[in-house]
Structures are given as C-alpha cells and as structure tokens.
C-alpha cells in the first residue's frame, strides 16, 4: 500500500510540474488553472444546499440596514366598505349635529314636564314645575275619555293602511320602472301629491276662503251614494259580505289618501328597482324563467331591504300627519288648555306606542330581508 501511495504522489507532483511549466510558457490561462483547481474541491461542493445555507447563516453576522433603522410596515389602506361607511356618516352628520343641539334639551324638558304640574308665568324662567309622579299618565290612560279611544283608532287605521300603501307604491314603482315615452312626466305626476300634501299647501287650503267654498260646493252637489256602498249592499243581499270585503271597500273609499301617502315610498322602491342589474334578468330568461318567476326570485328579494325602510317611514308618516286625532288632542291640550304636563305625558305615551310598533314589525320583517353585497 505504501508503494502505491508513493507512486500516486509522484504522479501528482509530475502533473503539477507540467502545469507550472505550461503556465510559464503562457499557453494556459489563469481561468483554466482555476478550473483545474476546482476539480480538487468536488467533495466540498457535493454538500447539500440546505447545509451550506445553514452554515452561511450561522457564520455570517446579520447586516444592519442602511441608517441602522428597521423598515416600518406599510399602512393598511381603507377598504371600500370603510370608505362607504365614512361617507354615510358624513351625510348624516348635519342631522346628528342638529338633533343634539336643538332636540335633546327639549326632549329632556318634555320628559320632566310629563311628571310635573307645570305653571306658566310663576317664575323668572317663564314656568315652574312641581313633581307629581305618574299622575299625568294616569289621567291620560284612565281618566281622559278621548285619548285612549283616539290612540286605539289611529293604531288600527295604521295597521290597515300599511299593507295597502306598500302594495300600491310597489305596484306603481314597477310600472314607472318600465321604458315608455314621457316617463319623467308621469313620475312627476305621482310625486305631485307629496308636494300638495305638504304643510304649506295644507295651511293655505285650510285658511283660504275661496278653496273652502269650492270644497263645500263640491260636497253639496256630489252624489251621496258611492259606488262601493252600492256594491257592498249587493254583496250583503247575496250573503257574500264579510270582514275582508269591508276592508277592501274601505280601502277603495279612501284610495286618494293612500295615493297621497305613497309618493316617497314610490321613489324609494323605484331607486331600489334601478339598482338591480339587467344581466340577472337576462340570465334568468336564458334559463327559462318566466316574468312571474323572475319577480319572485329576483325582484322581490333584491328590494326587500327597501320594504323594511318603507314600513318604518309609513308608520312614522301616518302617526305625525296633520289630520291625526291623537296629534290634534295633544296640540289642543297644550295650546288651548295650556296644560303642558298633561300634553307631554300623552305625547310620550304616543311616542312609546309608535316605537313599540316599529320595533315589533322590524324584528319580524328583518328576518325575511335579503341583504346582498
């Protein structure tokens, strides 16, 4: 073995001498020499890359970044939902400011008055309040013969008119959403009752002697027997009449009031219908859906959120309109009788009843509402 090693060592020496002589003569470049030397390091290059990386990471110290400061993480950009939320809050900010500045203090004072006996002109502030507890509420609910009856009738009338108003406004919105000539003019006609029923027009109508005379003349010359009364007697004679027929005839008798109260609801439904993509109807038509199926599967679910909005608006609008018997009772008690405590208690009872109805209907309808992104 030793002789073999000596022979191999002599051969390596001869090779090195040959390479040095060739390099000295200039026929072999440094690059080729380096390549020959690299052949001796084949074993070292055969190491796994992961081992080399671990050795390099362990041996080389961490190089600090320029300036010696770590790079700060980038700020996360606002999402579209966040931007829309901020825009919504900016839109309602004027109302919030006005409510806090002009409405919060009067509400607190009204609540205090409902538990007090208010005397006008007894103090420097213009009135004085004496705490009497629930006496005003007891008077409104148990003693006064008008308030509870008027409240019950108004709630009943609202519950009966609410479905009719929503159905009528939705039906008209579907018609106005179709393409036809003079569509803008027809839309303005259906919104005209909202303008005519505004506070200024109603005040002019009540205080104008000419308008009042025209109304009296129309009532005197009009036929006292309505078509619905004739139909109702015919059905009763045939033994067909009943609760549902009476409800329908009642709606027909005051369809004008329903039309007047449907202007805002028509606009809300119309805006919801215009947000539905036409491609959804086209895809449904390709799949073989009829117009009736598209209505129940596409139109109604997509506008269901606006149904809830219109329910809340209709309830509030019905409870605060000018011909409301409860509002008239509260106003007469406050202005004519100058009884601020009693009128405040009736107003708060009316407010609580209104909020309870809105809360119950919202809890029921919100389960059926379809929200989409």
Contacts of 11 (CB under 8 A, 6+ apart): none
| pLDDT score of 29 more than 50 | no
Residue 338 pLDDT: 83
| Higher-scoring residue by pLDDT: 373, 132 | 132
Residue 248 pLDDT: 74
Residue 325 pLDDT: 87
Per residue in 161-176, pLDDT tens? 898 899 989 998 898 8
Confidence of residue 345 (pLDDT cuts 50, 70, 90): very high
Backbone angles phi, psi at 72, to 5 degrees: -75, 145
Measured CA to CA, the distance from residue 331 to residue 329 in angstroms comes to 6
Residue 128 pLDDT: 79
Q: What would the 3-class secondary structure string for the chain be?
A: CHHHHHHHHHHHHHHHHHHHHHHHHCCCCHHHHHHHHHHHHHHHHCCCHHHHHHHHHHHCCCCCCHHHCCCCCCCCCCCHHHHHHHHHHHHHHHHHHHHHHHCHHHHHHHHHHHCEEEEECCCCCCEEEEECCCHHHHHHHHHCCCHHHHHHHHHHHHHHHHHHHHHHHHHHHHHHCCCCCCHHHHHHHHHHHHHHCCHHHHHHHHHCHHHHHHHHHHHHHCCCCCHHHHHHHHHHHCCCCCHHHHHHHHHHHCHHHHHHCCHHHHHHHHHHHHCCCHHHHHHHHHCCCCHHHHHHHHHHHHCHHHHHHHHHHHHHHHHCCCCCHHHHHHHHHHHCCCCHHHHHHHHHHHHHHHHHHHHHHHHHHCCCCCCCC
Confidence of residue 261 (pLDDT cuts 50, 70, 90): confident
Residue 93 pLDDT: 93
- Pick from 118-122, 133-137, 296-300: least confident: 118-122
| pLDDT score of 135 more than 80 | yes
Q: In CATH, which of 3.40.30.10, 3.90.1300.10, 1.10.1740.10, 1.10.3720.10 is domain 135-365?
A: 1.10.3720.10
Place of tokens 């059926």: 368
- Pick from 122-126, 242-246, 356-360: least confident: 122-126
Per residue in 349-362, pLDDT tens? 999 999 999 999 98
Q: How far apart are the first and last CA of the chain?
A: 85
Tell me the average pLDDT of the chain: 75
| pLDDT score of 8 more than 70 | no
| pLDDT score of 245 more than 70 | no
Residue 47 pLDDT: 46
Q: Please say whether the beta carbons of 164 and 251 come within 8 A.
A: yes
Mean pLDDT (whole number) for 284-299: 88
């Amino acid at each position: 073995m030793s002789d073999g090693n000596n022979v191999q060592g002599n051969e390596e020496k001869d090779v090195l001498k040959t390479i040095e002589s060739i390099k000295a003569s200039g026929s072999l470049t440094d690059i080729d020499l380096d390549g020959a030397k690299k052949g001796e390091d084949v074993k070292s290059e055969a190491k796994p890359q992961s081992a080399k990386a671990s050795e390099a990471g362990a041996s080389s110290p961490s190089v600090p970044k320029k300036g010696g400061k770590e790079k700060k993480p980038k700020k996360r950009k606002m999402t579209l939902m966040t931007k829309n939320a901020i825009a919504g809050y900016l839109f309602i900010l004027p109302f919030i400011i006005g409510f806090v500045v002009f409405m919060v203090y009067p509400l607190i004072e009204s609540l205090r008055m409902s538990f007090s006996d208010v005397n006008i002109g007894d103090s420097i502030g213009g009135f004085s309040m004496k705490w009497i507890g629930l006496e005003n509420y007891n008077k409104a609910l148990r003693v006064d013969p008008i308030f509870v009856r008027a409240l019950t009738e108004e709630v009943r009338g609202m519950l009966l008119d609410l479905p009719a108003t929503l159905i009528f406004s939705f039906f008209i919105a579907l018609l106005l959403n179709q393409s036809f000539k003079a569509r803008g003019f027809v839309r303005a006609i259906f919104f005209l009752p909202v303008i005519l029923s505004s506070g200024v027009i109603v005040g002019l109508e009540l205080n104008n002697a000419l308008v009042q005379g025209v109304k009296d003349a129309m009532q005197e010359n009009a036929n006292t027997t309505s078509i619905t009364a004739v139909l109702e007697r015919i059905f009763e004679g045939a033994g067909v009449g009943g609760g549902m027929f009476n409800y329908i005839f009642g709606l027909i008798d005051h369809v004008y009031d329903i039309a007047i109260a449907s202007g805002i609801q028509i606009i809300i439904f119309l805006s919801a219908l215009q947000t539905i993509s036409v491609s959804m109807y086209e895809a449904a038509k390709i799949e073989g859906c009829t117009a009736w199926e598209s209505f129940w599967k596409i139109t109604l679910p997509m506008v269901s959120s606006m149904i809830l909005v219109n329910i809340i608006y209709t309830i509030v609008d019905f409870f605060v309109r000018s011909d409301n018997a409860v509002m008239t009772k509260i106003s007469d008690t406050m202005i004519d009788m100058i009884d601020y405590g009693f009128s405040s208690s009736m107003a708060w009872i009316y407010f609580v009843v209104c909020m309870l109805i809105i809360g119950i209907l919202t809890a029921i309808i919100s389960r059926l509402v379809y929200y989409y992104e």
